[in-house]
Amino acid sequence: MKITGVTPVLLTGPISDDPSMHAFRTERSAAFVEIHTDIGLVGIGETYLGYHLPQVVPAIVEYFAPILTDAEPTALIGADGAFDVAELSGRLTTCSQYWGRVGVGATVISAIEAALWDLNGKLLGVPAYQLLGGLRHDRLRGYATGGPSNWPMDRLREKVDRYLAQGFRAFKLGAGRYTDDGQQDSGDNPQHTAELEAEKVSTIRDYVGPGIGIMLDAHMGFRTEGNRWDLETAIGVLNAVEPYGVDFFEEALPYNDPASYAELARATGVKVAGGEQLTTTAEFAPFAKAGSFDVAQPDAAWLTMSDFVEVAGMFGQSGAQVASHAWSGGGGVMQNLHAAFACENTYVVEIPPLAGALHSQLWGDQLQLDGDGYLLPPTAPGLGVTLSEQTKASFPYRPGSEEWVDVPGKLMPRPGGTG
C-alpha cells in the first residue's frame, strides 16, 4: 500500500440541532484530511483547528504531504502491510520542530495521524482502538456537552430535558447565565459568583435528582484579563457547588500556572478538570507533574490519538483519570471515542448532543448510546467515519464561520446582532 495523495477538506455546517446552542451561534467550520492510497482505501482524520483557524489547514497539509507521498514504502510498512504510524508521525513532527512542536502544526498532524490509523484499521479489518492498545472498556459513560447555561431557569430546564430525552444521563453546563440577547452574568465579585453557581446547580440537582451526572465548565482557558477567575474565586465556587454532587469542574483557571491548578485540586473535593487547549504530551507534562488535574481532558483532534493514550498513561500513574474533550465535527468525535476506549483510566466521554448533519453524516451508526447513557464501542474498521462527496457538496466552506475569542477590533458575530 502506497500513499498517492493527501487532501485537505474544509466544510461549514450547523453547529448543532440543539436550539439552546443557537443563542450563541448557529454554524461552525471544520477541517479534515483525506489520505488516498494506490489500493483505493482512503483514510479520514479531523483537526479541531478547523473550528478555530481552518484557513491555514490547507497550507500546512501541503507542506507535510511530500513526507507521506514521496517516502520509501519499504521503510514505512510493517509485516502486516499496514503503515508504521509512529514513524510517519515522527517524521512530520521532526520536520516542523521550529514551528510545529506545539500549536497549529501539532494539531494538523493530529488529523494526518488519525487518517493513518483509519487506513490501518480498514486494511486490517479492526476498529482503531484495537491498534492503540486494545479495547479497555465494554462501554463508557457519555455526557451531553451543553455550552452556556441558557437563562432564565426555565430555558435551562428545557435544555436539560432535551439531553435526558436523548438518552444521556449526564450533562455539562457553562458557568454563569447566558441570555438570548448574548448577555452573560457571571457575578461581580467572588462571593456573588460562588452564590450564583451554587443556586443554579442546587436548582438543577433538585430538578434531575441524584442519579444524573452534572459537570460544570468555567471556560477560563480563554477569558481575557479582568474577566478571569483567580484562585480564590475558583476555590470559592468549587466549594460552593460541592454539596450538590458535581462530577467535575472544568477550566476553573487559565492554563498559565500548573501550580495554581494543583492548589485548587487540593483545596476542594470536586474533581478539577482541564487540558483542552494543550496540543501535545509535552504540554500536559507540567500539569501531570504538579498534580493539577483530577481529570485531564486531552482532545484526539487537537493532539494526536497516540498522544491521547500517552497522556492517559501519564496521569494514570498518580491515579488521575481522563475525559475526552470533543467539540470538533463528527470525525474528531470518533477519534476521541476510539482513544477513550483504548485507555484504562477513562472517566467519561464528551459528546455533542442533538448533533447536526455535519456530525451525524460522518459517524453514521457508529455512535451508539445505550439505554443507561453509556457509549458502546464502535465496530467498523478504522474510525468508522464516512466523508462522502454528498456531504462535501452539502456543506461548502464559508469563510468567517470559524470561532475566535472576542477582542476589540475582532468580535464574533452572534444571533441577535450582539458581538
One-letter-per-residue 3-state SS of the chain: CCEEEEEEEEEEEECCCCHHHHHCCCEEEEEEEEEEECCCCEEEEEECHHHHCHHHHHHHHHHHHHHHHCCCHHHCECCCCCECHHHHHHHHHHHCHHHHCCCHHHHHHHHHHHHHHHHHHHHHCCEHHHHCCCCCCCCEEEEEECCCCECCHHHHHHHHHHHHHCCCCEEEEECCEECCCCCEECCCCHHHHHHHHHHHHHHHHHHHCCCCEEEEECCCCCCCCCCCCCHHHHHHHHHHHHHHCEEEEECCCCCCCHHHHHHHHHHCCCCEEECCCCCCHHHHHHHHHHCCCCEECCCCCCCCHHHHHHHHHHHHCCCCEEEECCCCCHHHHHHHHHHHHCCCCEEEEEECCCCCHHHHHHHCCCCCECCCCEECCCCCCECCCCCCHHHHHHCECCCCCCCCCCECCECCCCHHHCC
Q: Who wins on pLDDT, 31 or 148?
A: 31
The mean pLDDT of 306-324, rounded to a whole number, is 98
In this predicted structure, the answer to whether residue 417 has a pLDDT above a threshold of 70 is no
Beta strand pairing status for 3-14 and 27-37?
Answer: antiparallel
Supply the pLDDT for residue 416: 57
In the beta sheet, which residues pair with residue 364?
none
Q: What is the C-alpha to C-alpha distance for residues 84 and 93, in angstroms, rounded to an integer?
A: 15
Order of strands across the sheet that contains 3-14:
3-14, 27-37, 42-47
Query: Nearest-CA neighbor of 315 among 363, 272, 256, 270?
Result: 272
The mean pLDDT of 33-54, rounded to a whole number, is 97
Whether the link from the prior residue into 190 is cis, omega within 30° of 0, is no
The mean pLDDT of 20-45, rounded to a whole number, is 94
The mean pLDDT of 98-117, rounded to a whole number, is 96
In this predicted structure, the answer to whether residue 407 has a pLDDT above a threshold of 90 is no
In the beta sheet, which residues pair with residue 174?
217
Amino acid (1-letter code) at residue 285: A
Beta strand pairing status for 346-351 and 140-145?
Answer: parallel
Cell matching residue 277: 487547549
Amino acid (1-letter code) at residue 398: R
Q: Please state the pTM of the whole predicted model.
A: 0.96
In this predicted structure, the answer to whether residue 419 has a pLDDT above a threshold of 70 is no
The mean pLDDT of 281-299, rounded to a whole number, is 98
Residues 6+ apart with CB under 8 A from 22: 15, 16, 415
The mean pLDDT of 392-407, rounded to a whole number, is 94
CB-CB contact of 350 with 325 (8 Å): yes
Residues 6+ apart with CB under 8 A from 373: 141, 142, 167, 168, 169, 170
Amino acid (1-letter code) at residue 243: P
Q: What is the C-alpha to C-alpha distance for residues 91 and 67, in angstroms, rounded to an integer?
A: 7
In this predicted structure, the answer to whether residue 418 has a pLDDT above a threshold of 60 is no
In this predicted structure, the answer to whether residue 18 has a pLDDT above a threshold of 90 is yes
Amino acid (1-letter code) at residue 139: R
Q: Please report the domains of the chain, with CATH numbers, ordered by start residue.
A: 3-127+389-417 (3.30.390.10), 140-375 (3.20.20.120)
Supply the pLDDT for residue 181: 75
Percent of the chain with pLDDT over 70: 99
Q: What is the C-alpha to C-alpha distance for residues 36 and 119, in angstroms, rounded to an integer?
A: 9
The mean pLDDT of 141-154, rounded to a whole number, is 93
Percent of the chain with pLDDT over 90: 86
Mean residue pLDDT across the chain = 94
Report the length, in residues, of the chain. Answer: 419
In this predicted structure, the answer to whether residue 304 has a pLDDT above a threshold of 80 is yes
Cell matching residue 349: 466521554
Query: Nearest-CA neighbor of 385 among 322, 352, 336, 327?
Result: 336
**348-to-22, 238, 261, 337 alpha-carbon distances in Å:** 26, 20, 21, 10
Q: Who wins on pLDDT, 197 or 184?
A: 197
Q: What is the C-alpha to C-alpha distance for residues 381 and 376, in angstroms, rounded to an integer?
A: 15
CB-CB contact of 408 with 402 (8 Å): no
CB-CB contact of 31 with 362 (8 Å): no
